[in-house]
Structure 1
């Protein structure tokens, strides 16, 4: 039994996922999702948290169980069942992780031409589909933003996730109506345009 983590963020307007270049066979030299076999005394959640700490340096953070992948041929070594988790993180968390390790990099979460080891391309595809489906009913995109953000920041994150532009007035009206965010009264400084108001999360992390 293994766990594989789909750790996603938005970098330069593109939804990206953390991948690792494998040093050992099978698929040595290929990119793969960070993962690990589950230890004898670990729960699935504990194993996922351990991988999160080892690869991204994060002790805490939102993780959601995605799906269990059990195709008999998914691992050429033996029958291996993997439980996949996915999470959204601010870009700085994952870019810092990449800067500290030569085997880690951020790759496009959708439309990448680079072959991935095992069935990890299918895992990422399902994670992106799940994420897009949650946008309308859960404030998941807030996990990608700093404590204070503008409506422009929030719109850019949504557009990166769904892969297309949204109608600005309709998007902002809908997000304000959800009650997920609240204005702070603070505004941007040193901007060439009209300073935008900063917003913050108005819902707990558990609502993700």
Structure 2
């Protein structure tokens, strides 16, 4: 793909927000009134997908694009969509502060951004095939694209609140070890990467789940 054909960072994120997040945002939000918990959860889920789609999928197709870190991503999407501000807590702070306690300082949406940022960091878009062996998997998300990578299949229904969403399927985690994970934990200024266990789903199992959910919505 020629450089001129690559969708720039800002344009790509704006497009993802338009289709995945805008339909469930309030037109005139009030910062003084917190959104309902259910709405916060919906927005967090959709923004989580936006981060994954840009920082991993879009950059995997276009490795020359920059990786947008947590704070920069939060600021960027709020600048693009001021209606997201009520869903942000840490980002609303007018004074630059250190992130020392994720549970207390971040909103649901910011936690979702942090989680997807960590996932993208570990997947590493520069790798041809990511190493996910041993990862505890609770949900499989599927992005279907055509052979030319010009069109994709997204889901829009009552479950997604009228917004476009990735196809997803929950996975039984009862047989997976929850303590040993590849997830990066952020707490008290420390980032710890725990060693993967051998009890997560392997690549073949994840693919089978993906094929299954794709058939269900076909």
Scaled by the length of structure 1, the TM-score of the pair is 0.32
More strand by percentage? 1
Scaled by the length of structure 2, the TM-score of the pair is 0.31
More helix by percentage? 2
